[in-house]
Structure 1
């Protein structure tokens, strides 16, 4: 009886691990789409709204889902006079705190870190140009993420179950 319970637990753990990995493949394109929309809103705020960067990030972050909501709110907070960090330092610090909560990869982080060096330090037109460039790069990454989702989401679910079954067979 104890062996049966152990086998069920191992099989369940493998299946859950597979479903978790599949969820990560599904979440990455959604988070990239949200990030692209947030950057497009930031571009609008900079070009038409003349909104200070911390206020714009805070306003944009309110409409997003976690973890991007916390990432932008944290970056905006670090730009406030209480902390006094530059836009680049604020965004990098927020990325350091919240990046592990996202499903995104290092390529997207590099895009955001490169963009952070321009925000708040150059004129409006240059910032708009760099945001558009970042959006283009993120759209490319989103397409790759959608391809990965199609290729690997179902496979991850099946593989988790099969690895759990293999472990049960090998143990018992």
Structure 2
């Protein structure tokens, strides 16, 4: 009986590891998609209303865009708490500090951090061009992440189950 319980636990643990790996991939795709939506909103507001950046950040904290809303809320808090530091510094440190929680890899974080080099520094047209470029980079990364999820997501789950079964068979 105890041996059977051990086998069930081994299969369960290895399956959980496989599902956890798949969930990390899924979280990454979801975060990237939400940042793309946030950038769409930034672009639309800058094009149509020419809304100033601090108001845009405040507006994004009110939107329900999942993980990216959290990013903008923390960014806004940091900007309000320490007005001596530049917007660029706050943007970059927020992207860096939240990367792991958002499920983003270093390449995606670098793309987000590069947005700080033009946001709030140049005229609206140049900021729009930079936002559109960053958005396109995020779309490309998201497309690759989605493809990875489709190909490797099921593989991770299946491998987790298979490893558990193999270990149980070796225990017999």
What's the TM-score, normalizing by structure 1? 0.88
Q: Which residue of 2 aligns with 1:13?
A: 13
Q: Which residue of 1 aligns with 2:63?
A: 63
Pick which of 13-22 and 23-32 moved more: 23-32
Q: Which residue of 2 aligns with 1:140?
A: 140
Q: Superposed, which structure 2 residues align to 1:4-83 within 5 Å?
A: 4-80=4-80, 82-83=81-82
Displacement, 1:134?
0.4
Structure 2 spans left out of the alignment, 5+ residues: none
What's the TM-score, normalizing by structure 2? 0.88
Distance 1:88 1:30 in 2: 25
Three-state SS of the structure 1 residue aligned to 2:142 is helix
Distance 1:15 1:136 in 2: 36
Displacement, 1:171?
4.8
Distance 2:146 2:17 in 1: 21
Number of corresponding residues: 171
Asked if 1:111 corresponds to 2:111, the answer is: yes
